[in-house]
Structure 1
Amino acid sequence: MKVLRRSAVTLVVLLLAAGTIRLVLGEASPKKVLTGRSAFVSSIAVKPGIFRKIVPADLPKPYATKSVSTKSRIVPRPAGLLPQAPAGFKVGLYADGLVVPRVIRVAPNGDIFVVETRAGRVHVFRGISADGKPQESSIFATGFHEPYGMVFYPLGKNPKWLYVANTDSVVRYAYKNGDLKATGKPEVVIADLPSSRSRDENAWKAYDLAVSQGKTPPDHGHWTRDLAFSLDGKRLFIGVGSASNVDDPDEHPSETRRANILEYTPEGKFVKVYASGIRNPSGIAVNPTTGQLWTSVNERDGLGDDLVPDYITHVQEGGFYGWPYYYLGDNPDPRHLGKHPELKDKVIVPDVLLQSHTASLQMTFYDGKQFPAQYRGDIFASQHGSWNRLVRSGYEVVRVPLKNGKSNGVYEDFLTGFLTPEGDVWGRPVGVATAADGSLLVSDDGSGSIWRVSYTGK
């Protein structure tokens, strides 16, 4: 085989019997990219540092495999077992004992805000000690209803507000840098977000009981509501997932203004549906360099192990992404054949297809300086883990390399190891954020922990 110079091509394709492997030559050393069927890897087998690319042509037909329910029962983390990152990175436990930690946001002064969904509160951590632990912590506020998204406003070094999304509303607290506790009562910004979740305290108990018995828990619709502001501060974006798996909005009023990214003013006035047909945009973020809105999406279930892929994509204003009638372009969902043919040619194909049922949650753009230069501006996104797949997928954090703000569809398995060697689940990644020192923070609602990934070069 001839030796190829790095400047000659961006991708070199080698055809192998097991599938296609490509070499990515954009980094310090060539990286193999698994493609075709080789890109479909179980959570037990996945290792950090592996690159993958999935395209629509790789996918099976609907119902190629039976739809299954394999709910994960969380086991205690075995002693000494830690998440795994690529060579040169170190993983340490930053904090534990949290009650379903979800979204993480870092304040301009470096304080780390974490939503504890089950406890209905926002926790704040300050500093990183020599042994990688918080130097101080406090409860910022309590009394939320399934809180998830947070965002500081206005953008910049001196925000005046902290916005927090409940599942059915958005509130904000007066805030100045350094506040460890809310100094006043919350102001309701949006009182009527679409939601079908009960405020009954017993709702979580019923959910926990079903999971502990290996049963499918009650379905009250997608409840996560992530938040992001446009760079000019004039637009507040809110991700609102569907009320069901694939109910037809024409026949189900509960789907009104759902499976969308909604746009509001900072003061809470509804402006428009910014983008639609997005089943569950559970993570949204604005690229701080380009100003583009991106989302990480939980796609639909029930069509088999490898349909439909979750995805990460930039969001086109006014764009339609298919749900529930189509997926990944003009592919029809067999449960809605013949419905809305006028939409068929309008369906946008997302930028990055992930393995199906991985349950993509929060995403962030890496804006630190601790990691090597090629990581700056890249996306990190959590994969909470599958339930609608015979062999588990997800349970990791992935990295999406960007060049000039764009993706070529490749992603990297970055932080893995949340399963035991026997396949039991002990951790489930959710929140991702860049700490003030440039390390990457990852919340894990399986073990109630926050992990810190730092670069040592060793």
Structure 2
Amino acid sequence: MNKHVIVLPLVALALAGGAFLYLAQGDTARLPAGADTGREPVFTAPRSEMLPTINIAKVKPWAANAKPVAARGLAVARFADGLSHPRSLLRLPNGDVLVAETNSPPRPKDGIVNRVMAYLMNEAGAGAPSPNRIILLRDADGDGRAETKATFLTGLHSPYGMALVGDTLYVANTDALMAFPYKEGDTRITAKGRRIIAIPAQAPNYHWTRSLVASPEGLLYVGVGSNSNIGENGLEMDKGRALILEVNPRTGYRRIFASGLRNPVGLAFEPKSGALWGVVNERDMLGSDLVPDYLTRVEFGAFYGWPWNYWGGYEDRRVQPQRPEIREYTKRPDYALGNHVAPLGLAFADKVQLGAPYTDGAFVGLHGSWNRKPAAGYKVVYVGFADGEAGKAKPVDVLTGFLDKDGAAQGRPVDVTADAKGALLVSDDLGGVIWRVTKAK
């Protein structure tokens, strides 16, 4: 055989492989640290990525006595450990704490995109099957450590959000909002439960978490993330998603409360204004300096831009057809938390007693990036408020050290809530730990 017949394909393959490796190196952030946070974040021009920037921290679980680093004046200790992928938290009136042990439901394994997503989840320590249960933690002796760890509720389907209204516990599975009878002090619910509404969970069901919060009036608010990055598989795949639902659990009536929210995860009511606020994960593959994830007041009927716009009117020209007529109706978020930081947990400071400066504001759990260089997030931050609005100051680090000195992930913070004594609880799904943050003695 002519040697050129052999050599030329090899050369082409080598060039293609070199091009792939070059593109796979990804994009590196150019903005200085902190420029992508606050009420007026800095925006760069989009830097389109043919392949997503992949920068997954290696998994190196906490050593026996290791722990995150608390901010000056604060201390951190283990409230509970030995958990299986703990995510959302709910403190009950008697002080018991519920934690959802959960993960993504099974996803399709065909096609390059699904295989890449499976690889990313495995590399990030999130590829295990979902435990599909809720655990009850009880600190009966008040020493700051849960001595009771009971399996409270099973038979769920990738559960996430939880809310208690009267004697009914509501759980947001990935595909349905469920109701269960609750009796204070019980350590297990055996009732099958009843479905209030179905929730869209079309395959491949990206952004599978369903956040949940109850208003003082007993209405429920459910966050439903998009099924894509920017609707690239057709908007029919995202029907009924990228929004927050308002649900009357007594009648089952529901309506869209707000839309254009790519992945609204943490939801909470601000205590002074009574307004609903949420943290939202924004879009990918526009470079390491775009787009900032955010904290925002969620207004009824508001549209927040996804997929056509971000941050109140910046057009994402990858989305076709364009919708320039809706830019003037796009609501701008209130506060940027940083690019690709993946905010998941939200809790206001009214029930947290950590002293100044943590008296009027919001705690946010930043799960951490997989698609930014350098890595971002992997910490809990505090955003100061004034008169019910996010203030002008930059976020303040509360709990760091989830990445070790070599950049390996020892843990990843998820949800935040106050315990019965005013300490801040932080779930860590990678470490299998619930951390407890208090004032230093």
Which TM-score band (shorter chain)?
0.7 to 0.9
Partner in structure 2 of residue 435 of structure 1: 419
Equivalent in 7, 13, 32 of residue 37 of structure 1: 32
Is 1:425 aligned to residue 419 of structure 2? no
Q: Distance in 2 between matches of 1:223 and 1:127?
A: 31
In structure 2, the CA distance between the partners of 1:266 and 1:376, relative to structure 1 (3 Å rule), is farther
In structure 2, the CA distance between the partners of 1:268 and 1:228, relative to structure 1 (3 Å rule), is farther
In structure 2, the CA distance between the partners of 1:128 and 1:39, relative to structure 1 (3 Å rule), is farther
- Provide structure 2 residue ranges, at least 5 long, that are not aligned to the other structure: 1-30, 103-129
Partner in structure 1 of residue 164 of structure 2: 152
Partner in structure 1 of residue 87 of structure 2: 102
Q: Distance in 1 between matches of 2:260 and 2:199?
A: 17
Partner in structure 1 of residue 308 of structure 2: 325
Specify the SS of the correspondent of 1:39.
Answer: coil
Q: Distance in 2 between matches of 1:112 and 1:291?
A: 24
Partner in structure 1 of residue 152 of structure 2: 140
Q: CA deviation at 1:60?
A: 1.0
Specify the SS of the correspondent of 1:103.
Answer: strand
Equivalent in 197, 202, 206 of residue 221 of structure 1: 206
When structure 1 is superposed on structure 2, of 344-353 and 307-316 the one drifting more is 344-353
Partner in structure 2 of residue 180 of structure 1: 187
Specify the SS of the correspondent of 1:437.
Answer: coil
Q: CA deviation at 1:333?
A: 0.4
Letter aligned with residue 199 of structure 2: L
Q: Distance in 2 between matches of 1:79 and 1:98?
A: 14
Partner in structure 2 of residue 351 of structure 1: 334
Q: CA deviation at 1:77?
A: 1.4
Is 1:116 aligned to residue 123 of structure 2? no
Letter aligned with residue 195 of structure 1: A
In structure 2, the CA distance between the partners of 1:81 and 1:358, relative to structure 1 (3 Å rule), is same
What's the C-alpha RMSD, in Å, of the aligned pairs? 2.0
Partner in structure 2 of residue 20 of structure 1: none
Q: Is the 8 A contact 1:54 1:354 kept in 2?
A: no
Overall identity of the aligned pairs, in %: 41
When structure 1 is superposed on structure 2, of 96-105 and 168-177 the one drifting more is 168-177
Q: CA deviation at 1:271?
A: 2.8
Equivalent in 179, 187, 196 of residue 189 of structure 1: 196
When structure 1 is superposed on structure 2, of 397-406 and 335-344 the one drifting more is 335-344
Q: Distance in 1 between matches of 2:359 and 2:140?
A: 22
Is 1:300 aligned to residue 283 of structure 2? yes
Equivalent in 59, 73, 78 of residue 74 of structure 1: 59
In structure 2, the CA distance between the partners of 1:268 and 1:417, relative to structure 1 (3 Å rule), is farther
Q: Is the 8 A contact 1:171 1:189 kept in 2?
A: yes
Q: CA deviation at 1:348?
A: 1.4
Partner in structure 1 of residue 377 of structure 2: 394
Q: CA deviation at 1:70?
A: 1.9
Equivalent in 432, 435, 438 of residue 454 of structure 1: 438
Q: Distance in 2 between matches of 1:421 and 1:65?
A: 29
Specify the SS of the correspondent of 1:342.
Answer: helix
Count how many residue pairs are aligned between Structure 1 and Structure 2: 382
Normalised to the residue count of structure 2, the TM-score between the two structures is 0.82
Q: Is the 8 A contact 2:361 2:390 kept in 1?
A: no
Equivalent in 154, 161, 173 of residue 168 of structure 2: 161
Specify the SS of the correspondent of 1:367.
Answer: helix
Normalised to the residue count of structure 1, the TM-score between the two structures is 0.79
Q: CA deviation at 1:81?
A: 2.8
Q: Distance in 2 between matches of 1:78 and 1:120?
A: 26
Deviations 1:333-381 (A, max 9, x none): 0202661111111111111101111111021112336321542342111
Letter aligned with residue 196 of structure 1: Q
Q: Distance in 1 between matches of 2:391 and 2:267?
A: 19
